[in-house]
Amino acid sequence: MMKRESTQLALAVAGAVTLTVLFGLLGAFAPNIIEAVRNPGVAPSPTPGGLRVNQNAPARDFTLTDQNGRPLSLSALRGKVALLFFGYTRCPDICPIALGEFKAIKKLLGEQAGQVAFVMISVDGSRDTPEVMKRYVEAFDPAFIGLTGDELDVQRIGLDYGVRSVKRKPDNTAATYLVDHTSHTFLIDPQGYWRVTYPFQTPPEIIAADIARMMSEPTPAP
């Protein structure tokens, strides 16, 4: 009887350990798996830094208005790495953090930072005029790019990246409305291919290392 009980106890312990390991693995990889299901062009990354994207063609081009009131197309940034973030200037939390992380990435890159375009695209075009965008992005760094335009146009652009945004009237605040929006950052390589999607608050060191590694890659033949 004692031997049977000992065997049952050992099996129970082994089963518990197996479940613990399994749940740990699911906890580590489930976000990537879910993201890959939502965005078929996105493949789970082999590193914790972001989701590698399977793109067979350059990211779709678009044109919006920059903070100086001039049209700017994604294709105009070819030759540089571009980091894209969708947000808005009245964002109370996520956007200031994201732009602050852009600053940290730029500092980590040092001299290589001149080969990177740091771009914020407004999801609140009715309030984020070029003048407003200029004050906002240049308060973080004069070289940062702020793009704005018709909100429907931005929503269509965002769909390519799985970006969603919706206005809501917040409770217990004087704000007219807030905009709930996807908080990922998207890395476009110098050839215009969307290569990586980074979840909010991915460490700047990881993104900077990815950019530096990308810059060292040989340029594909035309």
Residue 210 pLDDT: 94
Q: What range does the domain containing 112 cover?
A: 51-215
Asked, for residue 188, whether it belongs to a domain, the answer is yes
Residue 43 domain-assigned?
no
Same domain, yes or no: 111 and 209? yes
Asked whether residue 222 is assigned to any structural domain, the reply reads no
Give the separation between CA 173 and CA 177, rounded to whole angstroms: 9
Q: Are residues 87 and 130 in the same domain?
A: yes
Q: Say if residue 89 is in the same domain as residue 145.
A: yes
Residue 45 maps to a domain: no
Tell whether 57 and 117 lie within a shared domain: yes
pLDDT reported for residue 39: 42
Secondary structure of residue 119 in the 3-state scheme: strand
My answer on whether 119 and 186 are in the same domain is yes
Q: Residue 192 region, left (φ>0) first, then alpha (ψ -120 to 50), else beta?
A: left
pLDDT (tens digit per residue) in 68-98: 999 999 999 999 999 999 999 999 999 999 9
6 and 113 belong to one structural domain: no
Q: What is the pLDDT of residue 106?
A: 98
Do the beta carbons of residue 165 and residue 155 sit within 8 Å? yes
If one counts the domains in the chain, the total is 2
Beta strands in 79-219 (DSSP E): 81-87, 116-122, 145-148, 165-168, 178-181, 185-188, 194-198
Pair 57, 32 in one domain:
no
Q: Is residue 65 part of a domain?
A: yes
Indicate if 165 and 83 belong to the same structural domain: yes
**Are residues 141 and 59 part of one domain?**
yes
Residues 183 and 120 in one domain: yes
Asked whether residue 91 is domain-assigned, the answer is: yes
Q: Are 21 and 76 members of one domain?
A: no
Q: Residues 130, 207: one domain?
A: yes
Q: What's this model's pTM, rounded to 2 decimal places?
A: 0.77
pLDDT tens over the chain, length 222 residues: 444 444 443 444 344 433 333 333 333 333 333 333 334 344 434 445 788 887 788 999 999 999 999 999 999 999 999 999 999 999 999 999 999 999 999 999 999 999 999 999 999 999 999 999 999 999 999 999 999 999 999 999 999 999 999 999 887 777 789 999 999 999 999 999 999 999 999 999 999 999 999 988 776 655
CATH of the domain at 64: 3.40.30.10
